[in-house]
């Protein structure tokens, strides 16, 4: 689980280990594999019409971007559990909201980093319009956020509790 506050990302030890292992793979064995693919494609001749070469270069670019993202995330991470504030919306909380105060039209989601989106529960980033609108609100408070079309929407926070994973 991830909790973000003031440019610090809180990670459980398990999450930190998982991301660290991915970074080590991408910057070690995966880097060697992509270099070998590029070298093999380069030996095939004319690079202008070599689809394998261009695909390998694109894959390398995506891989290097992921390495930079993971490096930055892990540099700013603190391992452990962030202080739990049950009843106050914060990253790492499962939040239930009602749209326009209509308690029959609700949404329950995990407010967390995209790194921890799962099939078990819908995940919204704290930087998303809805996430930033509800972050810091207490149960019972109304929150406002901006829709993609520029209009404002309001929701009421019905519940906020720590995610148990």
How confident is the model over 44-67, as pLDDT tens digits? 877 777 888 888 899 999 999 999
Q: Whole-number mean pLDDT of the chain?
A: 83
Q: How is 76-134 classified by DSSP, letter by letter?
A: HEEESPPPP-TTB--TTEEEEEEETT-TTSEEEEEE--GGG--SSS-EE-TTSHHHHHH
Q: What is the pLDDT of residue 141?
A: 93
Contact partners, residue 114, CB within 8 Å, separation at least 6: 123, 125
Categorize the per-residue pLDDT at 116 as very low, low, confident or very high, splitting at 50, 70 and 90.
low
**pLDDT over 60 at 83, yes or no:** no
Query: What mean pLDDT do residues 108-122 have?
Result: 76
Q: What is the pLDDT of residue 96?
A: 92
Summarize pLDDT for 139-161 with one digit per residue, the tens. 999 999 998 899 999 999 999 98
Domains of the chain listed by start with CATH number: 2-79 (1.10.287.180), 93-162 (3.10.50.30)
| Rounded-to-integer distance, Cα 97 and Cα 105, Å | 8
């Amino acid at each position: 689980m991830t909790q973000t506050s003031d440019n610090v990302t809180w990670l459980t030890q398990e999450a930190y280990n998982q991301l660290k292992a991915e970074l080590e793979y991408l910057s070690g064995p995966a880097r060697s594999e992509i270099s070998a693919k590029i070298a093999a494609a380069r030996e095939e001749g004319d690079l202008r019409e070599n689809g394998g070469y261009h695909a390998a270069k694109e894959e390398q670019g995506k891989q290097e971007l992921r390495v930079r993202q993971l490096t930055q995330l892990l540099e700013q991470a603190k391992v452990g559990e962030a202080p739990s504030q049950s009843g106050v919306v914060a990253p790492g909380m499962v939040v239930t909201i009602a749209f326009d105060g209509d308690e029959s039209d609700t949404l329950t989601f995990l407010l967390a980093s995209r790194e921890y989106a799962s099939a078990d529960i819908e995940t919204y980033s704290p930087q998303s319009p809805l996430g930033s609108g509800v972050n810091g609100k207490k149960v019972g408070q109304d929150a406002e956020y901006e829709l993609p079309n520029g209009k404002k929407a309001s929701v009421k926070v019905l519940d906020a509790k720590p995610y148990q994973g």
